[in-house]
């Protein structure tokens, strides 16, 4: 049920078994509530998408997303129940792992999802980078954590920035800043999909355009278990 987007191709080609997914706006599902109400409404759709993406029963780790730059290594952290009834890792906006057989997930509606994959070690990451997360360089924090935990070198990393709000619909050009941070960190392959969430409400949710009364897209990444 995850949509097959061409912009994820660079991640799919990095390391055997590494796969990325994206679920955009759900057609014919009217959502007129705040984030918690929207996530409760979207839960069945997103659970079905995760099962289709990685197989029924595959553990899924989600970040709470507090617009910060903290990154957690999973599995391992303590989780708590989110308003939609599913577990989240509290107080973080990024997740990294080198473990196969689990899914990393974040939800977005204008902020940027950043997929990371290390072609040498097989480590992967998924970040929620909005205005504040970008200002505090969550990408740099994630790369430092991947280096200390897994021995990742930035030159071995491929990164993809997914759909997010951009000028002229938003006065802050976070995508340009993220690209600059990727270059400064030494990422050898950084790809910006160039899609504007506020530019096509048939495909994307936009928190800004819809004044907070909207749903959330979902970004996914996993590393399949070795045969």
For residue 65, being part of any structural domain is answered with yes
For residue 67, being part of any structural domain is answered with yes
d(CA 190, CA 174): 15
For residue 226, being part of any structural domain is answered with no
For residue 170, being part of any structural domain is answered with yes
For residue 1, being part of any structural domain is answered with no
| Residue 153 and residue 188 in contact, taking contact as beta carbons nearer than 8 Å | no
For residue 227, being part of any structural domain is answered with no
Query: What pLDDT shows up at residue 66?
Result: 96
Q: What is the pLDDT of residues 52-109, one digit of tens each?
A: 999 999 999 999 999 999 999 999 999 999 999 999 999 999 999 999 999 999 999 9
Q: Any long-range contacts for 97-100 (C-beta under 8 Å, 24+ apart)?
A: 97/61, 97/73, 97/123, 97/124, 97/125, 97/223, 98/122, 98/123, 98/124, 98/149, 98/150, 98/223, 99/74, 99/75, 99/223, 100/17, 100/222, 100/223, 100/224, 100/225, 100/226
d(CA 184, CA 140): 9
- Match 């959330």 to its residue by tokens: 216
Q: What is the mean pLDDT of each run of 10 residues along the chain (227 residues)?
A: 75 91 94 92 96 95 97 96 96 98 97 97 97 97 98 97 97 96 96 96 96 96 88
Q: State which residues form the domain around 99.
A: 6-221
Query: What pLDDT shows up at residue 122?
Result: 95
Query: What pLDDT shows up at residue 4?
Result: 53
Task: Indicate the pTM of the whole model.
Answer: 0.96
Q: How many domains does the chain have?
A: 1
d(CA 200, CA 168): 13
For residue 16, being part of any structural domain is answered with yes
Task: Identify the CATH number of the domain in which residue 199 sits.
Answer: 3.60.140.10
């Amino acid at each position: 049920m995850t949509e097959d987007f061409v912009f994820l191709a660079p991640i799919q080609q990095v390391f055997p078994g590494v796969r990325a997914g994206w679920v955009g706006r759900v057609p014919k599902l009217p959502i007129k509530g705040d984030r918690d109400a929207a996530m409760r409404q979207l839960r069945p759709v997103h659970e079905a998408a995760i099962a289709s993406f990685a197989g029924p029963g595959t553990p899924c780790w989600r970040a709470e997303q507090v617009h910060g730059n903290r990154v957690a290594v999973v599995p391992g952290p303590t989780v708590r129940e989110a308003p939609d009834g599913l577990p989240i890792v509290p107080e973080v906006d990024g997740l990294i792992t080198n473990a196969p057989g689990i899914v990393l997930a974040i939800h977005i509606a204008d902020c940027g999802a950043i997929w990371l994959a290390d072609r040498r070690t097989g480590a992967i990451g998924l970040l929620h980078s909005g205005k504040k997360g970008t200002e505090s360089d969550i990408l740099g924090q994630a790369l430092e954590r991947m280096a200390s935990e897994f021995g990742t070198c930035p030159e071995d990393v491929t990164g993809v920035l997914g759909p997010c709000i951009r000028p002229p619909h938003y006065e802050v050009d976070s995508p340009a800043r993220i690209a600059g941070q990727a270059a400064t960190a030494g990422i050898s392959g950084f790809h910006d999909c160039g899609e504007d969430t506020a530019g096509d409400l048939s495909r994307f949710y936009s928190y800004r355009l819809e004044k907070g009364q909207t749903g959330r897209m979902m970004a996914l990444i996993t590393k399949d278990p070795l045969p």
